[in-house]
A and B are shown apart, each in its own frame.
Chain A
Amino acid sequence: MYVAVKGGERAIDNAHAWLAEERRGELNVAELSVAQIREQLSLAVNRVMAEGSLYDPDLAALAIKQARGDMIEAIFLIRAYRTTLPRFGSSEPVETAKMACDRRISATFKDAPGGQVLGPTFDYTHRLLDFALAADGEVPEVARGEAREETTPHITEFLNQEGLIQTEVTSEETPGDLTREPLELPANRPLRLQALTRGDEGFVLSMAYSTQRGYARNHAFVGELRIGKVAVEMDVPELGFAIEIGEIELTECETVNQFQGSKTEPPQFTRGYGLVFGQSERKAISMALVDRALRWEELGEDNLGAPAQDEEFVLYHSDNIQATGFLEHIKLPHYVDFQSELELIRKLRREAMENTTPVQEAAE
């Protein structure tokens, strides 16, 4: 009998205890350490940091462990923790031009200063299950080279020198903060980029893919994709100058997109931009494509009614913590509303039956 019996509290406690047991799994299998997750599942850690909007590999690894590998649950843990942290300032903008690149490729030039550096990529692996890994994961000794001394210039800068690519408007204005102010529309590009960089990887990927398949196609070339460490500097008022407080790994993607030109503008290439915590290149490329699609108005293009062009649609549905919470809330009891629907449908049916004169069908 399902009367809301007393015992909800005990049921919750028991559920939590069972959950803890399931998380641990078989006891004769060694427990996973947070350090193992951080080191050996680092791309999962990167995703949790990116969508959790908090750069802390240890906490992200802990969240993955606690969430039993459920990425959205792990991201949620990080987000909920993040909101409780005090803000003691903002960093200076990071200089991605000074990035120490582990990987740097361009699809638009065969070669460029700084070279094509593949780095640790899955790109040309054959996706064959490596059964040797099931036995042991020892890696052979790898060759080492010297790191490049000079900084690696941005590829789009070369196009910029020729005036072939649209120049981004520079601004000294402090961008808004999506996590501290309610989102009000129309949003500006900084807010859009914030939403995209913490948006659900799957959602942003699908939106980007839809542009490639013709829903607001914007002919993107990966001008440059770079992954590496950048220094984070902060202006400390007591000192009066900026000091380095640490470094973070970032993935940056700049796309070069076709543009026909308009009545006022000669033809030139346009840009899409993606920047994501950690090694997250699928996300960074997706972000750049969606960013470019959302810029239709600023670049004088037509609104084709494509989902990826609709700022409100993209921004309101990209956050997987919002989406999953609302989606899953329909598990909660709704019997009061359902009861009112029952009353209504019975009433409507009663009235409909009364108004219909029964007709004997010949077939009967």
Chain B
Amino acid sequence: MSDYNFAYLDEQTKRMIRRAILKGLAIPGYQVPFASREMPMPYGWGTGGVQVSAATLMPEDTLKVIDQGADDTTNAVSIRKFFEKTAGVDTTEETAQASVIQTRHRIPEEDLREDQILVYQVPIPEPLRFLEPSEIETRKMHSLEEYGLMHVKLYEDIAKHGAIATSYAYPVKVEKRYVMDPSPIPKFDNPKMEMAAIQLFGAGREQRIYALPPYCQVVSLDFEDYPFEASKADHACDMCGATNSYLDEVIMDDAGNRMFVCSDTDYCASRRKAGNVGAQAAAASAALKETAA
């Protein structure tokens, strides 16, 4: 094994992080300050998620790491490698096989189970930050449940654009108490947050952890006459034909032709394995072979 402790962090630090996680689970949506450590990867690249995962992982766990829904994006590869090296745990790309999933910007399409933990990487944990830059002020606003500013912002969006102009990191209210930042997931993923798995949020640079216990109530903020809408590209996946998954838009050629593919690579691959075929699957796999060659 390596010269480092299991999953890199020393046991005292893990204990400190676990205490913050437990507090977070006990007060869903509340941002718990924790003494974030300097990790061997840069702040802003998932140090919060990595610390939460490190404190959560047990030797028998199976870890999956995704970024933008994909297992093979560079930073997901890098974080997965980090835990392969420092914790020696099994890793997987299959959502169903994983006991801990660390994610950046997506929630897997497949429903998660009670025996799974989803760890989010969070850049700015404070949902009110871009309305009020001062941390002293925003903490006060949370403690007084003073969320008027957020509603005014959403209202102004409607007045100006005719719709709420937030498409990701769409604020939610947890168990009728705390307004919470769901991390920069597309608002398409918001409804999935009421789930069976434990959800843990780690913001390393900002030194905050927050959490959602299983089946916790998570409501996206909206107005009666402008209800929240989980939107996605109005297409089916061109690779696997899925109509219910979040799609990435890919520019195919110089003429600007597009194709739409599932952002969740494992979901797309398993659907294709099961025989589902999208409109451009044949052309796309030919193009893929060409680039690989």
Q: Which residues of A contact B (CB under 8 A)?
A: 1-9, 11-12, 76, 79-80, 82-84, 86, 179-186, 312, 316, 321-322, 324-329, 332-337, 339-344, 347-348, 351-352
Contacts and interface: CB of A to CB of B under 8 A. Distances in A.
A144 B80 CA distance: 58
Majority secondary structure of chain A interface residues (helix, strand, loop or mixed): helix
Interface stretch (B111-119, B141-149, B161-169): B161-169
Contacts of B163: 344, 347-348, 351
B38 A181 contact: no
Contacts of A184: 33
Nearest to A329: B44
Contact of A83 (B38, B134, B246): B38
B248 A321 contact: no
A333 B68 contact: yes
A321 B81 contact: no
Contact of B186 (A83, A339, A348): A339
Among the interface residues B39, B43, B248, which one has the most CB atoms of the partner chain A within 10 A?
A: B43
Among the interface residues B104, B167, B263, which one has the most CB atoms of the partner chain A within 10 A?
A: B167
B186 A6 contact: no
A316 B81 CA distance: 31
Given A5-B288, A329-B45, A336-B263, A182 B40 contact: no
Contact of A333 (B73, B162, B249): B73
B135 A12 contact: no
A2 B36 CA distance: 35
Interface in B31-84: 33-40, 42-45, 47, 67-70, 72-78, 81
Contact of A5 (B10, B69, B231, B292): B292
Contacts of A344: 163, 165, 167, 231
Contacts of B246: 336, 339
Interface in B255-274: 261, 263, 265
A333 B123 CA distance: 14
A225 B231 CA distance: 62
B43 A312 contact: no
Contacts of A5: 72, 288, 291-292
Contacts of A325: 42-45, 47, 205
B72 A337 contact: no
Contacts of B265: 4
A332 B67 contact: yes
Nearest to A78: B38
Contacts of B251: 2
Interface string B108-145: 00000000000000010000000000111000000000
B226 interface: no
Interface of B: 4, 10, 33-40, 42-45, 47, 67-70, 72-78, 81, 104-106, 123, 134-136, 161-163, 165, 167-169, 184-188, 205, 207-208, 231-233, 246-252, 261, 263, 265, 284, 287-288, 291-292
Given A321-B38, A326-B43, A351 B186 contact: no
A9 B248 contact: no
Contacts of B135: 185, 312, 316
Contacts of A83: 37-39
B288 to A, nearest CB: 7
A339 B248 contact: yes
A340 B167 contact: yes
B231 A1 contact: no
A180 B38 CA distance: 10
Contact of A180 (B35, B68, B106, B263): B35
Contact of A335 (B4, B34, B68, B288): B68
14 contacts: A1-B250, A1-B288, A3-B284, A12-B78, A76-B42, A79-B38, A184-B33, A322-B205, A324-B42, A332-B75, A339-B186, A340-B186, A344-B163, A347-B163
A327 to B, nearest CB: 7
A254 B70 CA distance: 54
Among the interface residues A180, A332, A337, which one has the most CB atoms of the partner chain B within 10 A?
A: A332
Contacts of B35: 179-182
A10 to B, nearest CB: 9
Given A182-B34, A336-B106, A322 B168 contact: no
Contacts of A12: 74, 77-78, 81
A191 to B, nearest CB: 13
A216 B123 CA distance: 32
Given A182-B207, A185-B136, A343 B232 contact: yes
Contacts of B252: 1
Given A184-B33, A337-B186, A351-B162, 18 more contacts: A1-B291, A3-B284, A4-B265, A5-B291, A8-B77, A11-B74, A79-B38, A83-B39, A182-B34, A182-B36, A322-B43, A325-B43, A325-B45, A332-B74, A333-B73, A336-B68, A336-B186, A340-B167
Given A8-B73, A335-B68, A86 B10 contact: yes
A352 B160 CA distance: 11
**Interface pairs A-B: 10 shortest CB-CB:** A325-B43, A329-B44, A325-B42, A340-B167, A182-B33, A326-B44, A340-B186, A182-B207, A344-B167, A325-B44
A175 to B, nearest CB: 15
A311 to B, nearest CB: 9
